[in-house]
Amino acid sequence: MRIGWPRRVFSQVLLVQLTITTGVTALATGLFLAPLSSQLDDQAMHRALAIAQTTAARPELDDQLRTSRPTPDGPIQAQAEQIRRSTGAEYVVVMDRNGVRWSHTSPEQIGRRVSTDPSEVLAGRELMEIDRGTLGRSARGKVPLRDENGAIVGAVSVGIAYENVRDRLLSAVPGLLAYAGGALAVGAIAAYLVARRLQRRTHDLAFSDISALLVEREAMLHSIREGVLALDERGRIRLINDEAQRLLDLDPTDTGRPLHEVLPQGRTADVLAGHVTGADLLTVSNGRVLVANRMPTDDGGAVATLRDRTELERLGRELDGTRGLIDALRAQDHEHANRLHTLLGLLELELYEEAVEFITEAVGVHRATAEQVTERVHDALLASLLVGKATVAAERGVSLRVSPHTWLPNRVIDPPGLVTIVGNLVDNALDAAPGAPDPAVEIELYAEGCTLLVRVTDTGPGIPVDQRELIFNEGWTTKAPPAHGKRGIGLALVRRLAERQGGSARVSGPDTGGAEFTIVLPDALTEEPR
């Protein structure tokens, strides 16, 4: 019966990790045993050299070497034997510049020349070696012996008894095998725990299922018409689909790079990095108006989605223009009917000169209003809105004026949003102004760089100080709700649109009375062309 490869992730990972753990343990044990002989040699030589250096550092040795004789009961022999017994060395030999021993384990060797050539150590070099001398094979360390002036007066040679390497190796094998067995057991337990955790995280799926899910995710991400950008905890791009590459003008090679390196500084980078928070944030990238949303992830990163609003801008312009035209036509319907009745009466009374003067005055008022708006407001959608509102204001008996400081170039990023802001503010002002002795509404649209200031002032009763923040809350109103719906959403929408574009909305009471609404939109206009 053939045993096949397990299909579950848990079984595969556990089997692979057990195999790896066993192999690594065996390899580590073998690699440890292989250089053990050389390691034992090296340890013995370093130990001998350290004892020799410590012995040569004794300040009284050089004096005793000059003032005494090489005898078995001499002071140098006594010191050397003391050092040998305390350190466990096989021998400690002190020699003079002629290579004559002044100390030795065998007293009969004192006064004789050493069996090995001492020229190198007497020349000032420190030596470590494995050699065979009168006491057999040993690990040796030799250092020069210097006087207080640094002159070499002799040398110190220390030997460590060198045991049979094979015997030491064999004695170490049981301990190594015990450690290897313990390491293997720990590795097996760790492999089981890792495999269990992986089983829970993968929902016990097979690798083929995970691979299929990954392929399906890639196909889905790159096929949807909404940009998806994933960032890690350090702000580096870890996933970007085709639509996001198109909207942000990025390449697949930008994956793995920090966001601030691939995007220029501006609102788009701030929104994607999380410096600007909120839902459905408007931003501009490469001439495209984008709606961005950002959601943090549990690992400290984030996933951002981008929708291209540029394609909807034309439809929005047409829709808002149609609404403005309908409002203007509705207001002009009553006004023209009254003027036609007046003109008919003048003609029936045969007051021809008065009729001509009446028509000339009516046409001149409309022409003057249109020219005043179009000279200062170069965005067609905003200009048509203001001309239509002027007609509605005239019907209500309110004077709608455009401030002489008004200047709006044709560089508006989101004309429909600006139409919503200005339209709501003007409608509220027209509702509040008729109660004043001289009802009037003044509009100011002032552009400086990419920032747009919108100010609408009326001569109405004004807003009490304690209610100037409440009026921007959705559902809050001082007017009776109509039968077909609810009120209290106009100013809330104005503030939401302003904050979505990184701006602000506030209301104050000017000295002349009434209310003054000020909207600041920092990124409402595109860069001015050179």
- For residues 502 and 372, state if they share a domain: yes
- For residues 336 and 369, state if they share a domain: yes
- 34-38, 174-178, 254-258: which is most confident: 254-258
> 497 vs 181, 226, 276, 416, CA distance in Å?
69, 22, 14, 11
Contact 316, 416 (CB under 8 A): yes
Is residue 397 in some structural domain? yes
Distance CA 58, CA 247 (A): 80
The last residue of one of the domains, among 243, 275, 308, is 308
pLDDT of residue 518: 93
Distance CA 231, CA 257 (A): 10
pLDDT of residue 1: 40
pLDDT of residue 72: 86
> 486 vs 247, 278, 326, 348, 463, CA distance in Å?
38, 26, 22, 48, 21
- For residues 502 and 385, state if they share a domain: yes
pLDDT of residue 457: 92
Share of residues in the chain with pLDDT > 70 (%):
72
pLDDT of residue 202: 63
| pLDDT above 50: residue 209 | yes
- For residues 335 and 432, state if they share a domain: yes
The last residue of one of the domains, among 242, 277, 308, is 308
- For residues 415 and 441, state if they share a domain: yes
At 66-84, the pLDDT tens digits run: 788 888 888 888 888 888 8
Mean pLDDT on 394-408: 85
pLDDT of residue 456: 93
Distance CA 134, CA 107 (A): 13
Is residue 205 in some structural domain? no
Tell me what the pLDDT averaged over the chain comes to. Answer: 77
Sheet holding 91-96, edge to edge: 91-96, 152-161, 136-146, 127-133
The last residue of one of the domains, among 162, 186, 210, is 162
Domains contained in the chain, number: 3
Mean pLDDT on 143-154: 87
At 332-386, the pLDDT tens digits run: 566 666 667 676 777 777 777 776 676 666 655 555 567 778 888 888 888 888 8
pLDDT of residue 318: 57
Is residue 24 in some structural domain? no
- For residues 402 and 515, state if they share a domain: yes
- For residues 244 and 365, state if they share a domain: no
- The pTM (predicted TM-score) of the whole model is 0.44
Q: pLDDT band for position 485 (50/70/90)? A: very low
Q: Is 12 helix (H, G, I), strand (E, B) or coil?
A: helix
> 70 vs 53, 93, 277, CA distance in Å?
21, 11, 91
- For residues 290 and 336, state if they share a domain: no
pLDDT of residue 19: 75
pLDDT of residue 446: 92
Is residue 407 in some structural domain? yes
Is residue 156 in some structural domain? yes
More confident residue, 330 or 42: 42
- For residues 287 and 423, state if they share a domain: no
- For residues 290 and 424, state if they share a domain: no
In the structure encoding, which two tokens stand for residue 255, read together? 């994956």
Is residue 188 in some structural domain? no
- For residues 431 and 291, state if they share a domain: no
Is residue 155 in some structural domain? yes
Domain assignment of residue 263, given as a range: 224-308
Q: pLDDT band for position 123 (50/70/90)? A: confident
DSSP string, 155-190: EEEEEEE---HHHHHHHHHHHHHHHHHHHHHHHHHH
| pLDDT above 90: residue 259 | no
Mean pLDDT on 97-112: 88
- For residues 247 and 117, state if they share a domain: no
Is residue 3 in some structural domain? no
In the structure encoding, which two tokens stand for residue 71, read together? 């005898």
Beta-carbon contacts of 108 under 8 Å, excluding residues fewer than 6 positions away, are none
